Amino acid sequence: MNAINAITIALSKGRIFEETLPLLAAAGIVPSENPEQSRKLIIGTNRPDVRVVIVRASDVPTYVQYGAADLGIAGKDVLLEHGGTGLYQPLDLKIAKCRLCVAAPVGFDYAAAVRRGARLRIATKYIQTAREHFAAKGVHVDLIKLYGSMELAPLAGLADAIVDLVSSGGTLKANNLTEVEEIMPISSRLVVNQASLKMKRDLLQPVIDSFAGAVQ
């Protein structure tokens, strides 16, 4: 765990960082730099006892699980894949909203393929969540793990369909894909290291309460 009298918050760059700023402000915390401009991975704040570490979105739960960060903000998609061991998830922050979907090339009759009991090749970063989803529906799938640009997989002949996050739908449209099934709505959650919450409740609880008050 980190210093007993200080808080470390794990955030990812981009949308989560931007949408977390108002929540931090509600807790009286203002980061001293923007990670988009600075290449620093540890960012101070106006509070000498609070710092932010900038990590990949999928690494946020790991930093918090092992106590390298006391708090973190991660998408539900990331938390489902991680499994959530060692983490409290006290708040849905309702930020970085999108949905996890199955998408396929326009013209591919996904529903008919499922009805026929066809074995589908699905490319995704979300192997665990996709496996559970298709197993629950009794759909036969071969899952292919990718780390990015899932939209390319059906176009290049790697897969029949993908499981990916969709927000505006613009990326699917630009690649002649269409959403064929919504798996679940996604938003970002506050995660808290369980030992930190016990040992540093005086420091952490006010921050958690301020976040809760600021959630739209």
Contact flag: residue 75 with ligand AMP (CB under 6 A): yes
HSE-CB of 178 using CA atoms within 13 angstroms: 8
When binding is defined by CB under 6 A, the residue of 52, 69, 98, 208 that contacts ligand AMP is 98
Contact 12, 54 (CB under 8 A): yes
> x-or-dash pattern for ligand AMP, window 100-139, by CB under 6 A?
----------------------------------------
When binding is defined by CB under 6 A, the residue of 96, 159, 191, 204 that contacts ligand AMP is 96
Number of residues that bind ligand AMP (CB under 6 A): 12
User: Do β-strands 120-124 and 50-54 pair in parallel, antiparallel, or remain unpaired?
Assistant: unpaired
Name which of 18 and 33 has its Cβ closer to ligand AMP: 18
Give me the least distance between CB of 78 and ligand AMP, in Å please.
9
Give me the least distance between CB of 6 and ligand AMP, in Å please.
29
Name which of 70 and 151 has its Cβ closer to ligand AMP: 151
- What distance lies between CA 30 and its chain's CA centroid? 22
Give me the least distance between CB of 164 and ligand AMP, in Å please.
5
Give me the least distance between CB of 129 and ligand AMP, in Å please.
13
Contact flag: residue 167 with ligand AMP (CB under 6 A): yes
Please, where are the H alpha helices in the chain? 15-26, 60-65, 76-82, 110-116, 127-137, 152-155, 170-174, 194-199, 201-214
Instruction: State whether residue 85 is helix, strand or coil.
Output: coil
Torsion of CA 68, 73, 77, 82, to 10 degrees: 10
Contact 126, 77 (CB under 8 A): yes
Contact flag: residue 168 with ligand AMP (CB under 6 A): yes
Convert 58-81 to b/e letters by CB count within 10 Å (16 or more is b): bbbbbbbbebbbbbbbbbbbbbbb
When binding is defined by CB under 6 A, the residue of 165, 199, 203, 214 that contacts ligand AMP is 165
Name which of 50 and 96 has its Cβ closer to ligand AMP: 96
